[in-house]
Structure 1
Amino acid sequence: MDAIRKQLDALMGANRNGDVLEVKRNYYDRDVCRLYIAGLCPHDLFQLTKMDLGPCPKIHSLQLRKEYDEAKRKGKDNYDRELEDCLEKHILDCDRKIARALRRLEDDDAGAATAIAVSEVTQSPEAAEYTKLIKAKLKEAEYLDIEGRSDDRIRIMEHVEELRAKRADRQALSLLEAFNKDRASMPQPLPNPPSLAPLPTLVALPPDARTQEMIKEKLKKAEELGEQGMVDEAQKALEEAEALKKLVPRPEAVTDPSKLVQQDARFTDQKLRVCDICGAFLSIYDSDRRLADHFGGKLHLGYMQIREKLSDLREERIQTRS
């Protein structure tokens, strides 16, 4: 409810119901979120995920963001460096999580740990065009919010979700192609087990005839003693029978071609990769639908927004200096 209330405050103002005293605020007030008016507040990104930061304790206002943008253009204030430091902290934490995930994979299966360069593998003109359209539509939605055109904003945001879904599908196909190449380079199970070279394995042989006879005698004796109520003696006879069962010939090596197939299959079973954007585990056997769900998920989209915004801030800072 607090998160919904803050969203309504940002869209319609704190006095939307006419039941609170209207307070005139400036973008530089201490209770206003500088990260939000500078472009991106991390509290808005991971709602209802395991990385949920909860509602931001400070005020989010599109109108104040507009006032800040005007002041920034005039050179009065600039909160970009503060936002950049905050986003760098989140990316540093994410990169540490990725490093831990890679170490975990290395421990479980040496040589299998890989950080998939999703940001590079999924680069394509089509995906880039979707990203450009999404940014433009989000900017348009902000202006509609400021103007109070809620219905038009909802329509724009529905279009944004459609564009994100199409981009996720495109990215999933690109990553699936990379995974197919990944699988092709890995050792595969041999197709015809009967033609494989024999693989030695140990198989226990049954007891010899003399031992089998002694086991039968002990079991019969245990049964008779049990009928006479001599429980301890019957238990002892059963233990002797069990001991005789262990006196079997030394296991001999036989060949079982199917074992070789199982051994080869280990090289292609459950190979995991780590997304270099959000740190999630991805299997090279994931379907395009499952991969699309990953690319369209809040966690991945959130970290992607952080990385894109951080890149934009750094580029803008470099251009300003030059």
Structure 2
Amino acid sequence: MSARNAMAAMLDELMGPKRNVELGKDTKVTFDDPDICKYYIVGFCPHDMFVNTKADLGACPRVHDDNLRLEYPKSDKFEKLGFEREFLKFLSRLDEDNQRRIRKNLEKLKANEENGQKKEDLRKLRDEQEIARIDGEIKLCMAEAEKAGEEGLVTKCQELVDKIEQLEKQKTAVEERLNNTATIPPPIDESAIKVMEVCEVCGSMLIKNDAQCRVEEHLSGKMHMGFSKIKVTIEELRFDNGSRGHLLMLLDISVNVKDGDHVNETDHVIEIGEGGLDRVHEIAIVAEVVRATDIVGMIVIGVTGTETIATDDIVAK
């Protein structure tokens, strides 16, 4: 955001989005004003949650009006303007993006582990080859030392015996390294020898069994708390049966037009997809939707598993 836009946003926060309206004209801000942040009115604005993190969404381009936020739950327009539906969609997109990041980091971690295993296997292979090479050189030196002894070349024989002793020491060192990885010098990058894991909430890479203070620091961080709040809010909205808006948008219920033997093109149909709900609970939800909706002649179809439940009688009630 440019300095000019940042200043304009700050003035909007302080004076309202209609600060430039001519005197005498209506300056009252309404819930559906395009300059007002609907997410902030409904609950919270995700743009405020991840400032200066990898998930930074940037500054919110709309105004956060505290007065409208307080008035909205008391208004007769509460949950009738579609704000909750848009809020859920936005939160769901953020959650989906986060889930992709988690999967990506898990794949990256797995690839690193596999790559590390390949490097370890290659190191072992090289050590085994080095041992074989030293064994071959020792045998050659022993043969030459034996020949020198037979020929009375005492000095040469002693030199070869000393060389054999050095080769034996080299072989012992390689064997110890092969059988005990603890003797491997630590790499320059300390994190390379630490076992990593992926946070299932925010996707951050963490050191497994890290110090408690660093664990607490992560748990209280913006990304972890932000995505935790998003996930909790999505679940709360999806299973809040207390209002028409929540029912229609958060239980994956869609209002549409459907052709059929007993459904005309102008009929309003609510379809409830599979969600692990039992028949009784599902019909109760359908009934609540109908009672909370002022659409006349609505036909409701609830689906549980492969069974279709026609509930026209609920509409009549």
What is the TM-score normalised by the length of structure 1?
0.49
Larger relative CO (CA 8 A, sep 6+): 1 or 2?
Answer: 1
What is the TM-score normalised by the length of structure 2?
0.50
Greater share of helix residues, 1 or 2? Answer: 1
